[in-house]
């Protein structure tokens, strides 16, 4: 380790509260890796919860590693130093297990960069028994792990807290090599070992069959889920100012979502919707208040927790402040606006998703314009004068009237903010392209052509420019194309990932020259009976019901 890398690690650790340092003697060393920078990884509550869970086991020592920042990456390469863990500064190759946390598909290429920097062979078949076992889990892996199949030894499908404990028992008892370990591990509910399955394709390139290589291997992998997440501690393991939340104590209110938005994968991967008990949340809030003043509430449906108001009131009465990432417009009440204002919220994020009620009905958002305006007035009435509004373009059945509707809705929202002579702050309109996701009714639908998405973005920007103190932030359509490829693709997409890695991230040149046509997954509407790369996963969802819902949506 060079002095520069050592000082960088020391600086990060010095600013943390809650870091766990354990001796290695007699323990199974696991390196928990987030395939993005420290700032992004340590802002992820799931990553922190797994870190604490693994370190709670006396037979395990768990350390962390991240994608180095650009300057630090150059230092690693200059000194020919393999990637090191944060806590002890050991090379990742010395760990028995490397566990990747994968919430986002866009981080898939970073996995290859990390393995290369760690001097670990990229493909599972190229590793020998001395190399660490490479495992992965998280939302992206649960939806469709296949683009990463050649690089990962096993995946955790679903919520991994219980599955990882079961796997460690098998791992610590195994003694006959990797192949036997994988065969034993695949019997654990929620564990998928891609090397034990073989995909077969027809003449047109469609997936014809996805079969286990031996009779003892289960034909489908059942998604694991925690029946009562309240039994697990959900609060932040480590506080640090070097994250998006800046020393905020995060705590999980619920898992899943009772809403059925047709574009959203949360409806599948965290099914069923579960609220954590208010009593447990109050206990964790007390723990958080001992460490700081601000408590961040995490969940896909915060406003659907029956104790949301009571919890917020409890925290503020104790002198604390609450923070939320977003809230549904129809969950905003005058009382909730007051509670948010009491915590010094000056900006609130809501997601209308579409500019017209017609398109919101198509995607099952279930949100009327009047509900949005009512929420805006309640917030503005309590001094919350800045709004962030999330919209998706390229949704199924979208028309130019729907695109114009985004600008019209933003203009009307601004009008309602200023009712009664109230001062009006900033409105940020955030635009993202629609990405079809596995296990949603829209998994059959293609991605909108990039050139059309660009025209739609231009139209929104032109319209919003006429609204005072209103700005547009947007994701680039070309990256939406890439994300769709990684969301929809099978394990043949791994070849594209490998070439992008070798080309140092030059997606444009690789996609242009690839013998594999990426439009096959991105721009093609799928057939009703088509076998998807992720159909081997059992989410407890009837595919025929999803198709019926898709046809109801698109007509």
User: Are 266 and 256 contacting, i.e. CB atoms less than 8 angstroms apart?
Assistant: yes
Q: First vs last Cα of the chain: how many Å apart?
A: 61
Residue with the larger pLDDT of the pair 244 and 165:
165
pLDDT bin (cut points 50, 70, 90) of residue 467 is very high
Interatomic CA distance for residues 305 and 89, integer angstroms? 42
Residues 476-527 have pLDDT tens digits of 999 999 999 999 999 999 999 999 999 999 999 999 999 889 999 999 999 9
Tokens 């010095």 map to which residue?
A: 14
Sequence length of the chain is: 555
- For 299-326, the DSSP string reads -TTGGG-TTHHHHHHHHHHTT-EEEES-
Q: What is the pLDDT of residue 1?
A: 79
Kindly tell me if the per-residue pLDDT of 78 is higher than 80: yes
Mean pLDDT on 386-414 = 98
* The two structure tokens encoding residue 327: 């809230």
| Mean pLDDT value across the chain | 96
Rounded to the nearest 5°, which phi and psi values hold at 539?
A: -95, 5
pLDDT at 231: 84
Residue 233's pLDDT is what? 87
Q: Residue 352 has which token pair?
A: 């209308």
Tell me the per-residue pLDDT of 213-258, one tens digit each, with 9 for 90 and over. Answer: 999 999 999 999 999 988 888 899 999 999 988 889 999 999 999 9
The burial of 555, by beta-carbon neighbours within 10 Å (0-12 exposed, 13-18 middle, 19 or more buried), is given as exposed
Bridge partner residues of 275 (DSSP):
254
The rounded distance, in Å, linking the Cα atoms of 92 and 410 is: 49
Average pLDDT of span 16-27:
96
Q: With residue 427 as reference, give the H or E element that holds it.
A: strand 427-433
Distance CA 413, CA 409 (A): 6
Q: Report cis status (omega within 30 of 0) of the bond before 272.
A: yes
Q: Which percentage of the chain shows pLDDT scores above 70?
A: 100
Cis check for the bond before 219: say yes or no (omega within 30 of 0).
no
Task: Show the beta-strand stretches assigned E in 215-310.
Answer: 221-222, 249-252, 254-255, 274-275, 294-298
The tally of CA atoms less than 13 A away on the side-chain side of residue 511 is 15
Contact 299, 328 (CB under 8 A): no
| Kind plus residue range of the DSSP H or E element containing 14 | helix 3-14
CA separation for the pair 70, 86 (Å, rounded): 17
Q: What is the DSSP string of 146-200?
A: GGGTTT-SEEE-B--HHHHHHHHHHHHH--S-HHHHHHHHTTSTTEE-GGGEEEE
Mean pLDDT of 356-380: 97
Task: Find the mean pLDDT for residues 401-419.
Answer: 97
List pLDDT tens digits, range 79-91.
Answer: 999 999 999 999 9
**Structure tokens belonging to residue 190:** 């929620």
Domains and CATH numbers, the chain: 3-222 (3.40.50.280), 326-554 (3.30.750.200)
pLDDT exceeds cutoff 80 at 176: no
Coil/strand/helix, residue 246: coil
Tell me how far apart the alpha carbons of residues 285 and 289 are, in angstroms, rounded to a whole number.
6
The closest of 525, 440, 497, 513 to 206, measured between CA atoms, is: 525
């Amino acid at each position: 380790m060079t002095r520069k890398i050592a000082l960088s690690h020391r600086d990060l650790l010095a600013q943390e509260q809650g870091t766990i340092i354990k001796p290695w003697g007699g323990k199974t060393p696991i390196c928990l890796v987030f395939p993005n920078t420290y700032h992004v990884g340590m802002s992820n509550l799931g990553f922190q919860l797994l870190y604490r869970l693994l370190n709670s086991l006396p037979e395990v020592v768990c350390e962390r590693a991240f994608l180095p920042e650009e300057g630090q990456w150059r230092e690693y390469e200059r000194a020919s130093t393999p990637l090191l863990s944060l806590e002890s500064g050991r090379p990742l190759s010395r760990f028995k297990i490397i566990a990747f946390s994968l919430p986002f598909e866009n981080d898939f290429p970073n996995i290859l960069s990390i393995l290369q920097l760690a001097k670990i062979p990229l493909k599972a078949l190229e590793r020998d028994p001395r190399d660490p076992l490479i495992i992965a889990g998280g939302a992206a892996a649960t939806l469709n792990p296949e683009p990463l199949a050649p690089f990962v030894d096993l995946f955790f499908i679903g919520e991994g807290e219980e599955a990882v404990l079961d796997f460690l028992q098998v791992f610590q008892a195994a003694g006959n090599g990797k192949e036997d370990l994988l065969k034993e591990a695949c019997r654990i509910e929620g564990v998928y070992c891609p090397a034990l399955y073989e995909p077969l394709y027809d003449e047109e390139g469609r997936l014809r069959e996805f079969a286990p290589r031996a009779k003892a291997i289960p034909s489908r992998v059942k998604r694991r889920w925690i029946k009562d997440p309240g039994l697990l501690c959900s609060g932040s393991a480590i506080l640090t100012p070097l994250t998006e939340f800046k020393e905020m104590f995060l705590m999980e209110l619920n898992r899943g979502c009772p809403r059925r938005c047709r574009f959203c994968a949360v409806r599948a991967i965290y099914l069923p919707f579960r609220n954590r008990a208010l009593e447990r949340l109050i206990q964790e809030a007390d723990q958080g208040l001992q460490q700081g003043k601000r408590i961040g509430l995490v969940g896909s449906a915060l406003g659907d927790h029956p104790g949301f108001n009571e919890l917020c009131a409890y925290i503020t009465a104790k002198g604390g402040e609450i923070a939320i990432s977003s809230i549904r417009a129809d969950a905003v009440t005058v009382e909730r606006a007051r509670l948010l204002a009491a915590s010094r919220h000056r900006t609130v994020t809501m997601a209308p998703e579409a500019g017209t009620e017609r398109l919101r009905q198509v995607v099952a958002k279930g949100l009327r314009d009047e509900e949005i305006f009512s929420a805006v007035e309640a917030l503005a009435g309590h001094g919350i004068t800045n709004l962030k509004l999330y919209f998706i373009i390229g949704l199924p059945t979208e028309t130019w009237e729907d695109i114009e509707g985004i600008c019209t809705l933003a203009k009307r929202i601004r009008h309602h903010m200023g009712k009664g002579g109230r001062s009006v702050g900033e409105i940020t309109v955030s635009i993202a392209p629609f990405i079809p996701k596995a296990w949603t009714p829209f998994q059959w639908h293609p991605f909108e052509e990039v050139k059309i998405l660009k025209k739609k973005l231009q139209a929104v920007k032109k319209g919003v420019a006429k609204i005072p103190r209103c700005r547009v932030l947007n994701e680039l359509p070309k990256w939406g194309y890439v994300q769709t490829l990684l969301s929809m693709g099978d394990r043949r997409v791994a070849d594209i990932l490998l070439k992008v890695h070798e080309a140092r991230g030059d997606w444009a040149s690789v996609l242009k020259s690839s013998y594999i046509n990426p439009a096959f997954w991105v721009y093609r509407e799928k057939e009703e009976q088509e076998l998807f790369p992720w159909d081997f996963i059992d989410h407890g969802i009837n595919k025929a019901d999803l198709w019926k819902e898709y046809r109801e949506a698109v007509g």
